[in-house]
Amino acid sequence: MSDINIGQAVVLGIVEGVTEFLPVSSTGHLKITEGLMDIPVGDKAVVAFTAVIQVGAIAAVFVYFFRDIVRFLTAWGRGLAHRDQRDNHDYKFTWWVIWATIPIVIVGLAAKPLIEGPLASLWVVAGSLIVGSGVMWAADQMGRHRRGEEDTTFKDAMLVGCSQILALLFPGFSRSGATMSTGLILDLNRVAATRLSFFLGLPALTGAGVYELKDAVGAGADLAPLIVGTVVSFVVAYASIAWLLKFVAKHSFNAFVIYRLVIGVLLFGLLGAGVLNA
């Protein structure tokens, strides 16, 4: 592979941390950034590197939502031990997250050659950014924003969980964008849809990072850039999570929609002009 140095790892860590949970596609932005730095986006070790530094961002979710996670796991443990505790919403919600993760794991393993091959193209990223922005705008307009987190159901969790597959197959669509849009279509309010997106991303993103770690190390990747990129993504992602939750409480997703459209059109232009290699 073309080695990723410390400086590049810092840049990629910042991009990952900023974009992982914003509905703008972290994968798309990472691939664009890699292209601008002449890093081969289709290289297996590069794909593994980007998956590993996601662990830093997902660790930020564990830290930021630590009390919620402890509450969920405590309720889950009580429910497993005592039948009369199984009507608790937190107990059921924990099971829903587990079940909702299964579809993306199956598709991720089955479609791995496509995900790391033809679908890794920047042309796919550009198209997905634009199409995803349309989906997000429509969802924000359709949603009645009347249901809170306490109103979520098994159906909500499964549909939102399955929507992650769109981002898995089409880098640029955005996992956050797909899950938040699905939540809005299901009439969850913006904060509830955003928090649900975070919780459903925990198992999938953590599993992907751990799974890819062996490929990154096996391909001869230097551990120093991996560690630096992961730490940087953690710090930046923590700040990004705090900002996003405050933002969606008072604003629509229109700013993200416009940004995605601009980046998608610009990327098409750069690819068409030969400035970037797909």
Global pTM? 0.86
In this predicted structure, what is the pLDDT of residue 217? 62
**Which stretches within 143-189 are classed as H helix?**
154-169, 175-185
In this predicted model, what pLDDT tens digit does every residue of 148-171 receive, in sequence order?
A: 999 999 999 999 999 999 988 998
Side-chain-facing half-sphere of 203: CA atoms under 13 Å = 16
Confidence tier at 1 by pLDDT (50, 70, 90): very low
Confidence tier at 221 by pLDDT (50, 70, 90): low
In this predicted model, what pLDDT tens digit does every residue of 202-212 receive, in sequence order?
A: 898 888 777 76
Mean pLDDT of 101-121: 88
In this predicted structure, what is the pLDDT of residue 230? 93
Closest CA to 197 of 174, 217, 222: 174
CB burial string 111-135: b at 16+ within 10 A, e below: eeeebbeebbbbebbbbbbbbbbeb
Which is more confident, 198 or 217? 198
Which is more confident, 23 or 46? 23
In this predicted model, what pLDDT tens digit does every residue of 138-147 receive, in sequence order?
A: 999 998 899 9
Mean pLDDT of 212-233: 78
In this predicted structure, what is the pLDDT of residue 19? 93
The rounded mean pLDDT for the chain is 89
